[in-house]
Amino acid sequence: MKVTKRGLWAVGALTVTASLVLTGCTAASDDADNAAGTGEALTVWVDADRAAVLKDAAADFTAETGVEVKLVQKEFGDIRDQFVAQVPTGKGPDVVIGAHDWLGTFVTNGVVAPVELGDKADDFQAVGVTAMSYEGQVYGVPYSIENIALVRNTALAPSTPATFDEMVTMGEAAGTEYPFLVGLDPEAADPYHLYPFQTSFGAPVFGTDADGSYDSDALEIGNAGGDEFAAWLAEQGAAGVLNTNITGDLAKEKFVAGEAPFYLTGPWNVPAAVEAGIDVAIDPIPSAGGEDAQPFVGVQGFFVSAKSENALAANEFIVNYMGSEEVQTALFEVGGRAPALTASFDAASADPIVAGFGTVGENAVPMPSIPAMGAVWEFWGVTEAAIINGGDPASLWQKMSGDIQTAIAG
């Protein structure tokens, strides 16, 4: 008898508790429904650096439109894979920040929706919009543009060198331990930093279509210019100008210590040198092969998920809000990355370093975002490292070109 009573009591209490908790839950879930239905919450994935400035921008956007913006902080490097994995489940964000060379992966996996910049497209620097395009379709709103340039220690080298050889001569005349520094990995060199020299021999990675987008069928890396570049790599490796034991960290350390007049790097390494009291000037990258030395340009921007239920709000947010001069300027002030919006860039160019990198960037080309590029990275750096370290340039370079061709076809 006692047992039954207790059992009844238990069931009763359970019902009460459960229903209490449940009422809370249903109420909460109703709210969530409303939010999804009226688009009152936009989920944005952003990295820690950009989260601070986006927070203010998001608050302004909410005040103006009534759309709440939920900022979720992610490690920048993790965003690409998590976005690709989560969008298909329907639990991904509405908007993500990302780099333009992720675009190929995004499109091949069907996780991004096209963005229509409309007339605003002309307000951005052309290379930014090109970089955010894939097969003629624009997929993102660019916000910053980055490229490498030659950083010169003005105390050690008073003038701008015209060619690579002249630079090395000037560097040797400066009497420092190294005439020229560039960070290379012992295993994989650094194709990104060496690319301007490669283009100066007339050997881009891919040819371009009529509309200016990269064509994976037109692999140019193994052309005659490529062979010349490989021979040049071997020469510079033998002469010790290019040294795969000087990693990115070491190169930075030595330039900051004043042990070299020239340093090939991006804007991210300049503040350390300035803080160390080095007077720097930003020069164009000297040509090694006679043609223009064109570095890669990396563009960062915002993408909209293909499965966003808040497509209109998301577009409004990234095109009309993130693309505004005010926000682009604010993002520049926090991150120090050159803005993609021409008006903001012009304002930012008051800083000679930004202007210097910008001038070099005018001649730059967007890093290919087509999936075939993955096959290129796989073989490119290790081959360069092998050649710098004494491998036979002609055969290794052609072998690499063949391997890339096979991998793309495969």
Does residue 126 bind another protein (CB under 8 A)? no
> For the chain, first and last CA: distance in Å?
76
- Taking the least distance from each CB to another protein, the nearer of 311 and 334 is 311
Helix, strand, coil proportions of the chain in percent (round to 5)? 55, 20, 30
Phi then psi for residue 238, to 5 deg, are -65, -35
DSSP letters of 99-166? EGGGHHHHHHTT-EE----GGGGGGB-HHHHHHTEETTEE-EEEEEEEE-EEEEETTT--S--SBHHH
Residues in 299-328 that interact with another protein by CB under 8 A:
306-307, 309-313, 315-316, 319-320
Residue 21 touching another protein (CB under 8 A): yes
Q: Which is nearer to another protein, 357 or 397 (CB)?
A: 397
Nearer to another protein, 22 or 257 (CB): 22
Site residues for another protein, window 160-189 (CB under 8 A)? 186-188
Site for another protein in 28-87 (CB under 8 A): 29, 37-40, 65-67, 81, 84-85, 87
The neighbouring-strand residues paired with 296 are 365
Q: Output 319 or 331, the one with its CB closest to another protein.
A: 319
- Token pair 């490989």 is found at 230
- How would you class 1 by CB atoms within 10 Å of its CB: exposed for 0-12, middle for 13-18, buried for 19 or more? exposed
Closest CA to 124 of 293, 322, 267: 322
Shortest Å, Cβ 79 to another protein: 14
- Site size with another protein, rule: CB under 8 A: 81
17 binds another protein (CB under 8 A): yes
Token pair recorded at residue 35:
């939010």
Stretch that binds another protein, among 48-56, 220-228, 243-251, 278-286 (CB under 8 A): 243-251
Residue 217 sits in the site that holds another protein (CB under 8 A): no
Among 1, 3, 63, 350, binds another protein (CB under 8 A): 3
Choices 212-220, 334-342, 355-363, 366-374 (CB under 8 A): range interacting with another protein = 366-374
Q: What is the DSSP letter of 389?
A: T
CB of 172 to another protein, least distance (A): 19
